[in-house]
């Protein structure tokens, strides 16, 4: 028995003695003992019920968390399959695997890439890679969109599909990479007598991949 409870019982005993002076002490003691026992039992029962309720709540929350996690995993798996299905329609050499940049861009912009497949690409035309950038159309006109080398040509297309430019590999003479600010990179493409400039590219590896594919396809005369 704790110190606090012992002290409470002593105070109770004094109060009982004052109240029950004319009663039989043994009977009073028996009643007090019975009362305290029943009180202890009730307290213990309530504690057990509280603990049981807390445990049930804990289990319910755990089940809810597990259910949410299952739903999250199922959603991610479904989304992954949808993206992979779109990738297989869009991209060439999918057996060589797409990279995380390409997967995440398609995931974030599914509507654009679905429209690209349905409305822009020609029969048997496949993307080889792509990168989001800014096309310096002229000194006064800069356009944000995707630079998209395919197995037939190079496309530049805005997300809303309102602007598109097409470039033939056979006309591309050279490709150069350049640094544009602290984090930005860009591509300069010698397109016949024109110089095409694409900048505001932040993924260096993807930039190199895009540039190399365009350069290699221009040398092999891919059609």
> Using CB atoms within 10 A of its CB, is residue 212 exposed (0-12), middle (13-18) or buried (19+)?
middle
85 & 99 share domain: no
Tell me the per-residue pLDDT of 203-223, one tens digit each, with 9 for 90 and over: 999 999 999 999 999 988 665
The CA distance from 144 to 158, in Å, is: 6
Final residue in a domain of this structure, among 36, 56, 90: 90
Final residue in a domain of this structure, among 90, 116, 137: 90
85 & 110 share domain: no
Domain tally, the chain: 2
Q: For residue 133, which of 84, 192, 186 has the smallest C-alpha distance?
A: 186
CATH number at residue 162: 2.30.29.30
Buried/exposed 24-52: b ≥16 CB within 10 Å, e otherwise: eeeebeeeeeeeeeeeeeeeeeeeeeeee
pLDDT bracket for residue 59 (50, 70, 90): very high
Tell me the per-residue pLDDT of 92-124, one tens digit each, with 9 for 90 and over: 765 556 889 999 999 999 999 999 999 999 999
Tell me the per-residue pLDDT of 150-201, one tens digit each, with 9 for 90 and over: 999 999 999 999 999 999 999 999 999 988 777 778 999 999 999 999 999 9
Measured between its terminal Cα atoms, the distance across the chain in Å is 92
99 & 206 share domain: yes
72 & 110 share domain: no
Helix axes 204-220, 100-108, angle to 10 degrees: 100
Taken as a whole, the chain contains a residue count of 223
Final residue in a domain of this structure, among 36, 61, 90: 90
Please give the model's pTM, rounded to 2 decimal places. 0.69
Here the tokens at position 175 are 């490709």
């Amino acid at each position: 028995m704790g110190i606090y409870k012992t002290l409470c019982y002593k105070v109770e005993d004094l109060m009982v003695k004052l109240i029950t002076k004319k009663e039989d002490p043994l009977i009073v003691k028996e009643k007090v003992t019975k009362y305290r026992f029943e009180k202890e039992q009730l307290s213990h029962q309530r504690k057990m019920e509280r603990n049981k309720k807390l445990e049930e709540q804990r289990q319910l929350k755990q089940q809810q968390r597990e259910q949410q996690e299952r739903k999250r995993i199922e959603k991610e798996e479904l989304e992954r399959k949808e993206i992979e299905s779109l990738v297989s329609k869009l991209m060439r050499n999918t057996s060589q695997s797409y990279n995380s940049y390409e997967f995440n861009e398609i995931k974030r912009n599914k509507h654009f890439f679905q429209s690209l497949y349905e409305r822009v690409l020609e029969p048997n035309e496949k993307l080889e890679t792509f990168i989001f950038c800014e096309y310096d159309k002229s000194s006064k006109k800069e356009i944000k969109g995707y630079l998209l080398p395919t197995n037939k040509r190079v496309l530049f297309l805005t997300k809303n599909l309102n602007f598109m430019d097409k470039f033939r590999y056979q006309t591309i003479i050279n490709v150069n990479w350049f640094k544009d600010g602290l984090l930005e990179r860009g591509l300069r493409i010698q397109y016949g007598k024109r110089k095409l400039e694409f900048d505001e590219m932040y993924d260096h590896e993807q930039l190199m991949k895009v540039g190399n594919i365009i350069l290699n396809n221009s040398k092999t005369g891919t059609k």
